[in-house]
Amino acid sequence: MSEHGHSQQEIAKRIGAPPGRGVLRDAVYGAIDGAVTTFAIVAGVAGAGLSPFIIIALGIANVLADGFSMAAANYSGTKAELDNMRRIRKIEELHIQNYPEGERLEVREILAKKGLRGDVLNQATDAITKDRESWIDLMMEGEYGLSGVDPHPVKSAVTTFLAFLAAGIVPLFPFILGLGNAFSVSAALTMMTFFAIGALKSVWSLSPWWQSAGETVVIGGMAAAIAFFVGTLFHA
């Protein structure tokens, strides 16, 4: 678990520019899906007994097309989230302009829920409602449960695509190199990729690394097993 400093300078820098949710979710999501979908294609085509050339062609097509599709979908979803936050912020601006006393009561209620009482509650309410931006920020968090940090659609999309590309190409390496036991090596490399992704994401989790890694291996392995089984049904 990472720690942060508590000097006055460190606190001011951290509170003044909060990082938001970051791109961890996008990276993990893209990497796992990249490895799963590409190896699912490898397993399915190999199970059907088709040539390595077809595996490479379909695998590369998946890495590029599905990776772009995921990135585009993540961009659209994150952009929709951002647009909704801006819409709600505009609503609060209008409410403060048209119903200031009602909005002031809402601020007071939010602060009371945080434990403020008496004169402290009155003073805090006065201080916050004197600044329009602080007022709206508090309403966004207290009334709607939304972060004060805007999401970044482009950053999320690029992270998803790069993670998908990096993990998705791994199952294809043995076939690109023309190894004799390409499928077995591909399966081993893919499981190692799942394990590495799971172990790495445990850095930002309270779960032990082996539990996170094992969970990711199980999820990816199940997807690959299903694809391979379906492929064997069409074996010539």
Per-residue pLDDT averaged across 122-141, rounded? 92
Q: Is 99 helix (H, G, I), strand (E, B) or coil?
A: coil
Q: Provide the residue type at 13 as one letter.
A: K
pLDDT of 121: 93
Answer yes or no: are the C-beta atoms of 123 and 68 closer than 8 Å.
Answer: no
Read off the pLDDT of residues 38-68 as tens digits, 9 standing for 90 and up. 988 888 787 777 788 999 999 999 999 999 9
Do residues 173 and 189 touch, judged by C-beta distance below 8 A?
A: yes
Please indicate, yes or no, whether the overall pTM of this predicted structure exceeds 0.75.
yes
The model's confidence at residue 206, banded by pLDDT at 50, 70 and 90, is confident
> What is the pLDDT at residue 212?
85
Q: Which of 40-49, 85-94, 101-110, 176-185 comes out lowest in average pLDDT?
A: 40-49
C-alpha angle 217/223/228, rounded to 5°?
115
pLDDT of residue 17: 56
Who's near 71: CB < 8 A, 6+ residues apart?
30, 157, 158, 160, 161, 164
pLDDT for 22 equals 64
Q: How far apart are CA 160 and CA 146, in angstroms?
A: 23
At 66 the pLDDT is 93
| pLDDT over threshold 70, residue 197 | yes
Amino acid symbol at 225 = A
Q: What is the mean pLDDT of the chain?
A: 86
Spatial CA neighbour of 159 closest among 25, 63, 59: 25
Q: Show the tokens assigned to 59.
A: 């695998």
Q: Over range 99-115, report the average pLDDT.
A: 93
- pLDDT tens-place string over residues 135-179: 999 999 888 888 767 788 999 999 999 999 999 999 999 999 988
